[in-house]
């Protein structure tokens, strides 16, 4: 009978401690800054470090604290900077942001080593070992981590054509030729 009581006391004690911790968590809950959470959701969450912070959460906190500019995320480019600036209620200078970049693999330089797709936090690079690799443009954020590890220098970054300035046709002087 004594061993039965001692066996039941351990789960009851654990349940009581769990209940007490649950109540303490509710009463001592520290609310996060909703602005930090909103900006963090906008950032690409690749933890690439190009902004100078170890992760997107730290970058969002720095943006809200005024320690980083709304355009500090190179993979997000000008489109993301505009969204963050609008959320913060600040304006950006016209020269800010060159737009997001995309990676491109030079097929003549790719030997299939696989370093690039192992390094990509967005799974934007596809390919099999010892085979040519490719970049999925919709998943690429242009963070440049893949180009940094390519031993052949076969990965380059270029501006995303979806964010390039639209081309306009020249307008003729009004004379139409038939």
Cα–Cα distance measured from residue 23 to residue 79, given in angstroms and rounded to the nearest whole number: 43
User: Whose CA is closest to 146, among 109, 98, 93?
Assistant: 109
Structure tokens at 79: 């489109």
Cα–Cα distance measured from residue 111 to residue 114, given in angstroms and rounded to the nearest whole number: 8
pLDDT at 178: 47
pTM of the model: 0.50
Task: Pick out the chain residues at pLDDT < 70.
Answer: 1-2, 93-99, 162-178
* Residue boundaries of the structural domains of the chain: 34-88, 101-161
Cα–Cα distance measured from residue 97 to residue 69, given in angstroms and rounded to the nearest whole number: 11
pLDDT at 169: 57
pLDDT at 113: 92
Q: Which residues are registered as beta bridge partners of 135?
A: 125
Topology (CATH level 3) of domain 101-161: Alpha-Beta Plaits (3.30.70)
User: Whose CA is closest to 116, among 142, 155, 160, 75?
Assistant: 155
pLDDT at 104: 92
pLDDT at 94: 45
> Which of 1.10.15.40, 1.10.760.10, 3.40.50.10890, 3.40.50.1820 is the CATH number of 34-88?
1.10.15.40
């Amino acid at each position: 009978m004594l061993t039965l009581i001692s066996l039941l006391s351990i789960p009851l004690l654990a349940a009581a401690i769990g209940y007490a911790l649950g109540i303490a968590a509710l009463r001592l809950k520290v609310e996060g800054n909703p602005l930090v959470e909103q900006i963090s959701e906008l950032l690409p969450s690749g933890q690439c470090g190009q902004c100078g912070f170890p992760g997107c959460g730290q970058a969002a906190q720095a943006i809200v604290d005024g320690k980083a500019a709304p355009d500090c995320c190179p993979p997000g480019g000008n489109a993301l900077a505009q969204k963050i600036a609008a959320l913060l209620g600040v304006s950006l200078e016209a020269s800010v942001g060159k737009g997001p970049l995309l990676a491109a693999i030079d097929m003549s330089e790719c030997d299939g080593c696989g370093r690039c797709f192992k390094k990509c936090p967005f799974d934007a690079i596809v390919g099999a070992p010892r085979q040519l690799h490719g970049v999925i443009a919709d998943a690429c954020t242009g963070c440049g981590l893949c180009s940094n590890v390519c031993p052949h220098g076969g990965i380059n970054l270029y501006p995303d054509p979806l964010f390039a300035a639209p081309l306009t046709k020249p307008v003729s002087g009004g004379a139409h030729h038939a």
